[in-house]
């Protein structure tokens, strides 16, 4: 677990962070259950891919991890407000890049070790991995479209 950056000092870890570090060890050993996405090569896609980023929000209840296959896919997992998530996005998948009253979504153009780039239609929005995970940990295209449609009635 030497590449789990926030967890250098185990005495200062919250219980949730300790649970996350234990789960991360299981993911790295391949003992944890696979994420939802299925496909012919999905089970092997992330084997041997190291954790490139881990971040804790100011709240100890939010712990994010990401595994990246450059310009192919990002796997993000962790806990947000004590709810566990495990998601995979690939190039071309739609994701949220911004929001105010409406959620703004676009196709993913590139994935690197530090950023995810999303097409805005009139340009490209580059999100740091932590921001991308925060915005998309529970992303549902159908639900986002439904909520945007409802919000349009009041704008």
Residue 40's pLDDT band, with cuts at 50, 70 and 90, is very low
Cα–Cα separations (whole angstroms), residue 5 to 9, 30, 53, 54: 10, 20, 8, 6
Tokens of 94: 């739609």
- Domain residue extents for the chain: 5-152
CA dist 51 and 154 (Å) reads 42
Neighbours of 71 (CB within 10 A): 11
pLDDT computed for residue 27 by the predictor = 52
CA dist 105 and 103 (Å) reads 6
pLDDT computed for residue 145 by the predictor = 94
Residue indicated by tokens 């739609």:
94
Give percent helix, percent strand, percent coil of the chain, each to the nearest 5. Answer: 30, 35, 35
**Region label for 12, one of left (φ > 0), alpha (ψ between -120 and 50) or beta (otherwise):** alpha
pTM: 0.69
pLDDT digits (tens, 9 = 90+) for 46-71: 555 556 555 665 666 677 888 888 89
């Amino acid at each position: 677990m030497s590449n789990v950056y926030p967890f250098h000092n185990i005495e200062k870890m919250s219980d949730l962070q300790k649970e996350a570090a234990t789960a991360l060890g299981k993911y790295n050993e391949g003992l944890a259950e696979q994420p939802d996405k299925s496909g012919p090569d999905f089970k092997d896609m992330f084997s041997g891919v190291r954790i490139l980023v881990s971040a804790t929000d100011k709240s100890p209840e939010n712990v994010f991890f990401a595994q990246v296959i450059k310009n192919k896919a990002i796997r993000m997992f962790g806990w947000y407000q004590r709810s566990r998530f495990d998601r995979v996005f690939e190039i071309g998948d739609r994701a949220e890049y911004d929001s105010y009253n409406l959620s703004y979504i676009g196709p993913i153009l590139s994935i690197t070790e530090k950023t995810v780039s999303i097409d805005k239609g009139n340009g490209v929005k580059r999100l740091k991995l932590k921001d991308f995970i925060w915005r998309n940990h529970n992303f549902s295209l159908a639900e986002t479209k439904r909520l945007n449609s409802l919000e349009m009635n009041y704008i």
